[in-house]
Amino acid sequence: MGYKVVVVGATGNVGREMLTILAEREFPIDEIAAVASSRSTGTEVDFGDTGKTLKCRNIEHFDFAGWDIALFAAGSGPAKDYAPKAAAAGCVVIDNSSLYRMDPDVPLVVPEVNPEAIDGYTKKNIIANPNCSTAQMVVALKPLHDAATIKRVVVATYQSVSGAGKVGMDELFEQSRNIFVGDPAEPKKFTKQIAFNVIPHIDVFLDDGSTKEEWKMVVETKKILDPKIKVTATCVRVPVFVGHSEAINLEFEDEISAAKAQSILREAPGVMLVDKREDGGYVTPIECVGDYATFVSRVREDSTVDNGLSLWCVSDNLRKGAALNAVQIAELLGRRHLKKG
C-alpha cells in the first residue's frame, strides 16, 4: 500500500524536479496529482522517466481530503492560502517556501541533520523545507559539529540563477546571447546585469544592512543545527544556471585537523568528499547538477584562529536545496509516522 501524493507548483523548476525525484527514488505512490495555479491548469508535466504524464489541476478547486502528503513548491503566497487547508484536511504539507520555516510549531528538517525534529509535525500538520543555501551547508557542518562543536560560521555563497526560478535562468541566457551579438542586456529579474557579473544581493535588504537571504542562513542554521552557533553570511548571485557553491570558514570549540575533518566527511551521510590537492581535485557547480550529494572540497586548516577550518561546499540547489530534501522529508515521514509504503 502506497501514498497519495500531491505536488503543488508542478510546472515550476522545483515542482518538476520533485516529480522527477519521486520517480527516481521509487517513492511508494498509489496516486499522484500535479497541481498548479489557474493559468497552468491543463498543462502536462512528466512524472520523471516513467513515461507517465500528469495534467495539472487547478489549486483553487483541489480537494486535499484523502491525500496523504502534499509537496508545496509554489512560493509563500499559495503556501499561506492553501497549506493550512491541506493540513486541516488531513494531508501533511511539506512546504518549500520560507513562510513556515521559523514558526516554532513547524519543524524545519534536513533528514541527515535533525531527523528527530519531524516528530513535531502534528502541531500544524506542516513541515518546512529550509532555504537552498542553508540545506547544503548544514549537511556538511553537522558531522563536524558533532565531532568538535562549531562556535562560528563565516560563509560566502555563490548562488545560481535557478534559485530565482525559470525567469532567472531565462535572464542569464538572454543577456549572455545579447552581449555576444551586441544587443542591450537590461536587467529585469535581477537588480543588475547577471551575465558575466556577480551581484551581492539576494532577496530584500533589512535594517541592519544584511539581506533576507543572509538572515535566513543565520536563523535556519541555528534552528536546524544549534541555537548557540554564531553565523554570518554574504549571499551572492553568480552567472551559473544550476548549482550553489559556498566558501565556509569555521571556528570550533575543540581542536580538529583538516585530516580528521576529511575522515569524518568521507563517512558522513549525504556528503561526497572530493578533495585532492591538485589541479581539478575539487567539485564545481557544473559537475554537481543532477546529483543527490552535497560535495565538499578544499578542506584546510585556518591558522588565523584557534581550531579553524575552511572548506568549499557545492550542491544542486534544485535537488538537495529544494526538491530532493522535500522528498527525503516525505520518506522520513513515512518511516517514522505514516508507515504505508
| E-only strand ranges, the chain | 3-8, 29-36, 44-46, 53-55, 57-58, 69-72, 92-95, 126-128, 150-159, 230-237, 244-252, 271-273, 294-302, 308-315
Annotated active-site residue in 91, 145, 235, 244? 244
263 labelled ligand-binding: no
Residue position matching grid coordinates 553537522: 142
298 labelled ligand-binding: no
Q: How far is 33 from 339, CA to CA, in rounded Å?
A: 20
Q: How far is 149 from 164, CA to CA, in rounded Å?
A: 33
41 within 8 A of 19, measured Cβ to Cβ: no
Q: How far is 151 from 87, CA to CA, in rounded Å?
A: 37
162 labelled ligand-binding: yes
106 within 8 A of 80, measured Cβ to Cβ: no
319 labelled ligand-binding: no
Active site residue 61: no
Q: How far is 9 from 2, CA to CA, in rounded Å?
A: 22
The residues with which 310 forms a beta bridge, in sequence order, are 249, 300
Active site residue 288: no
Q: In angstroms, what CA-CA distances link 77 with 98, 194, 202, 227?
A: 10, 26, 19, 28
Q: Closest by alpha carbon to 201, among 171, 173, 163? A: 163
Residue 37, CA atoms < 13 Å, CB-side half-sphere: 9
243 labelled ligand-binding: no
Residue 234, CA atoms < 13 Å, CB-side half-sphere: 9
184 labelled ligand-binding: yes
284 labelled ligand-binding: no
Q: Closest by alpha carbon to 202, among 230, 174, 154, 244? A: 244
Contacts of 248 (CB under 8 A, 6+ apart): 137, 140, 141, 153, 154, 155, 310, 311, 312, 313
Annotated active-site residue in 132, 235, 288, 313? 132
163 labelled ligand-binding: yes
98 labelled ligand-binding: no
Q: Closest by alpha carbon to 196, among 187, 204, 205? A: 187
Binding site residue list for substrate: 159, 237
Which residue numbers are catalytic?
Answer: 132, 244
Please state the residue numbers annotated as binding site.
11-14, 39-40, 101, 159, 162-163, 184, 237, 317
Output the known binding site for phosphate. Answer: 101
Binding residues for NADP(+): 11-14, 39-40, 162-163, 184, 317
